[in-house]
Structure 1
Amino acid sequence: MQKQVLIPTDYSKSAFNAIVYAFELFAEEDCTFHIFHSYFLARSAKGNVLFPEPEPADYDRAARLSGERMEWLKKKVGLLADNPKHTIYFDHKFGTLIELLEEKVMRDKIDLIVMGTRGITDDTKVAYGRNSVNVMENIRGCAVLAVPANVSYKKIGSIVFPTNFKTHFNKREMKTFVKIAQLGNSEIQILHIGKEKDLSERQRNNRKELENHFSEVKYTYHWLEHKGVKEGVLSFADQQNSGMIAFVNRKHWFFGSVFSNPLVKSLGVHSKVPILALHDTRN
């Protein structure tokens, strides 16, 4: 069965790099890629009393500009899209990014979203742009892979997977995670901040469930004591020269607390490591 991969684009360098990365990541897999752009007029937001409602000509102009840029992107992608295993669709639509992505995830049965970490503004002072943060936090129907603009695909030696063994694992997304690990014959490094002997019965049961998910890939356990979660995860990934960090995003817990931390920038982790966000089944 073909993988369905959604790649949002704002026509930036970072977004194009995410397209290239996705093509190379799934080079040996039968995949359908949905390259998608959403465009929006801020004045069209309901309840915005500061600006008048746009005229029909404004919507027409926005649609025309979006169409022209999409045609330009098609030509650019066409120069590198020569894989017979890949089917590529292009689409653009008026509306807000999160609502449209949720709609496409449901309608097209998307397995994975791949996107750049920073958008067209490319603010080097922030590790992740607003759109990538919003997608990771709010799209709950599939896994999300955020790829830094200067990262080229290479086989991933190891993937750090921090966990407190308290989350509920989404089977469909865990299959996607395992597939990514298998593509590069990657070792999954399960990282827990704390002592193994301190695990509760519930945590031990969740650990067994995790081992079942990882039965077809290489995995190792790593235990860090006397470390905070933020410092432990990021310093471990840096020391191990990891090719990716994957985590279960219990809503507004991991991503917001760790990857908004100044330590991300100081370690440079955000500039060289793709981040795979998975979801707790309770969210």
Structure 2
Amino acid sequence: MNIILVPTDFSENALHALKYAQELYKNARTEFYILHAFADKVYGRFNNSTVSERKKAESDIGQQVEKQLDTLIQSVKGVPSNPLHTFHAVASFDSLVDGVNDFVNKLNLDLIVMGTKGETSDHKTTFGSYTIEVFKYVKCPVLAIPQDFEYKQPKLIMFPTDYMLPYKRRELKLLGNLAGEFKSEVHCVHISDFDVLSHRQEDNKLFLKRTLAKAYLYFKTIPVKNRVNAILEYIAENNVDMLAMVNSRHSFFEDMLYRSSVDELGLKIKIPFLVMQNLPR
């Protein structure tokens, strides 16, 4: 059983991500939780109101959101509906990141699927622009679906790695199961000018081989260059269907000085982007 959360702002972009998730897991028993976080609507419009007025607004908007979610679920069930899929509506009086994290902890989620519109999105009004925040702060794998990407099976998955991280088995199992379902190639791409790995790197590479046993694994090394450009070039040259990366935690000082590769790719990537969190769960 897969447990998947799909945040929505009721836009076409969010609907597109939900339909992608349904197609990706069409042959698997899956529970979909469709979440809309609406605290910003209350505090934004009623910030200067009394407590009782805000409470009433919370109740009224919450009821409206529940109706919208029910309508959305009815529209995506299909005729006939997939007997392997069940849907649940979640109206969350919280911010997006906090609301999603609450459900990650409550339901022990396997995956979050959401849309992203990219660099030109308006951070105040466009749901897709919050995808990077979810990448960085939510303790669960996130699969971001670009608005214009038409569904196709992920036959070739790129997994950039320096073999330095002691990967978490559960996160890699998600990737391995996806690759096994579609008989996918997984290209583990090391961006380095050196072919010789340290003992630590060799151990982590061996762990990858064991954990991703269901995939057709290929190990590649490409020369050092701008990391983001190297990944984007590899995607274009090899017709990659999905990008998978592990989002390791950086220091506060490092984040102040540099934008991480995951941040930049989240704005530029044109294919589904699976971001796994290297955290115990």
With the shorter chain as reference, the TM-score category is 0.7 to 0.9
Letter in 2 for 1:59: E
Aligned residues: 269
- CA drift of 1:10 comes to 1.0
Structure 2 unaligned blocks of 5 or more: none
The ranges of structure 1 where at least 4 consecutive aligned residues each deviate by more than 6 angstroms after the TM superposition are none
Match in the other structure for 1:63: 62
Aligned residue for 2:158?
Answer: 160
TM, length-normalised to structure 2: 0.85
Q: Is the counterpart of residue 184 in structure 1 residue 182 in structure 2?
A: yes
The verdict on how the C-alpha distance between 1:80 and 1:186 changes in structure 2, with shifts beyond 3 A counting, is: farther
Give runs of aligned pairs for residues 1-283 of structure 1, distance below 5 A: 2-41=1-40, 44=43, 51-52=48-49, 55=53, 56-79=55-78, 82-118=81-117, 123=122, 129-140=128-139, 142-252=140-250, 256-261=259-264, 270-271=269-270, 273-281=271-279
Secondary structure of residue in 1 paired with 2:102 = helix
For normalisation by structure 1, the TM-score amounts to 0.85
Distance 2:129 2:249 in 1: 16
Contact 2:175/2:212 (<8 A) preserved: no
Tell me if the contact between 2:34 and 2:69 (Cα under 8 Å) persists in the aligned partners.
Answer: no
1:142-167 deviation per Cα after TM superposition (whole angstroms, max 9, x unaligned): 21100111222211120000001111
Q: CA distance change for structure 1 residues 101 and 225 in 2, over 3 Å: closer, same or farther?
A: same
Identical residues among aligned pairs (%)? 27
Deviations 1:179-229 (A, max 9, x none): 111222110001011134342221111111111112221011111114221
Give the Cα separation in 1 of the matches to 2:97 and 2:195: 42
Quickly say closer, same or farther: Cα 1:282–1:175, change in 2 above 3 A.
Answer: closer
Q: After superposing the two structures, state which structure 1 stretch, 109-118 or 226-235, moved more.
A: 226-235
Q: Deviations over 1:105-154 (max 9, x none)?
A: 121121111111139x9559xx99332111111111x2110011122221
The DSSP-based 3-state class of the residue aligned with 2:173 is helix
